[in-house]
Amino acid sequence: MKGTPGLQAVSTPEGPAALEAVLSPERLVTYRIWADGDVARALDLYALNAAVSEALYTPLQMLEVAMRNRFHQALAAAHGPAWFDDGGILVVRHQREQLAKARQQLARDRKAPTASRIVAELPLGFWTALLNRDYEVLWRRSLRFALDPSARDEHGQGLSRAKLATAATQIRKLRNRVAHHEPVLHWDLARHHAMILAVTGWLSPHAAAWTRQHERVPAVLPKGFAPLPSPGMPEVDGA
């Protein structure tokens, strides 16, 4: 894949072959496909992938923290601070398992299982699962109040659970790829970056403004960068 904007050649004392041995041919296989077999070019793309992933950390971190705290605040206001212990709220087994693991981790760390600590221990997947269709009634009754009153979609309409769920699911998958050091250059990163900012703004315009002020994605992602061909890899899921 030649002519990718914004890339500079990698220069190391050992050379590309030594780096490939350290990283492993398996880890570089996708980058080599993109680089038409050129190892040095593959390492350039690997470096770009690492730089973009690093830059994405700031907006992803803000979104995750804002989502869990705003969701918790809305649910606590309607159902009490320990809403997750209400037997009628968590209807998805995987979420109940995640809740149990959070309590177990706090016990191992010898920390009291306060509501705030449990909330902080729960992974992003727990919170995005609250947007599944199983929670339509919960959304209408209380969870929708997690959104800022100003929240509107690109057409100026109020946000539905389904629309927020679609965006949150895509963001979660990107977040997991970044967290697992997986290739992301085949994603439409400009679109997903905009989506992260939009969802953050729906939760808190102040959080979105802070993210725009401090993030580095626009500076790191090459101008005009187009997604590379999909290598046909399975998505990393879980958290």
pLDDT in tens, 141-186: 999 999 999 999 888 888 999 999 999 999 999 999 999 999 999 9
For residue 55, give both structure tokens: 């830059």
Q: Specify the pLDDT at position 211.
A: 98
Q: If pLDDT is split at 50, 70 and 90, which confidence band does 232 have?
A: low
Residue 17 vs residue 172, higher pLDDT: 172
Q: If pLDDT is split at 50, 70 and 90, which confidence band does 10 have?
A: very low
Average pLDDT score over the chain: 91
Q: Could you report the per-residue pLDDT of 22-45, keeping only the tens digit for each? A: 888 888 999 999 999 999 999 999
Helix (H, G, I), strand (E, B) or coil at 133: helix
Q: If pLDDT is split at 50, 70 and 90, which confidence band does 226 have?
A: very high
| Nearest Cα residue to 193 out of 46, 49, 3, 57 | 57
Place of tokens 């939009």: 198
Residues whose CB is less than 8 angstroms from the CB of residue 200 and which lie 6 or more positions away in sequence, other chains included: 59, 62, 63, 66, 207, 208, 211
Residue 21 vs residue 107, higher pLDDT: 107
Q: Could you report the per-residue pLDDT of 49-108, keeping only the tens digit for each? A: 999 999 999 999 999 999 999 999 999 999 999 999 998 999 999 999 999 999 999 999
Q: Specify the pLDDT at position 139.
A: 98
User: Would you say residue 6 has pLDDT above 80?
Assistant: no
Q: If pLDDT is split at 50, 70 and 90, which confidence band does 8 have?
A: low
Q: Could you report the per-residue pLDDT of 112-144, keeping only the tens digit for each? A: 999 999 999 999 999 999 999 999 999 999 999
| Nearest Cα residue to 57 out of 217, 164, 183 | 217
Q: If pLDDT is split at 50, 70 and 90, which confidence band does 216 have?
A: very high
As a whole number of angstroms, the distance between CA 200 and CA 40 comes to 37
Backbone angles phi, psi at 191, to 5 degrees: -65, -45
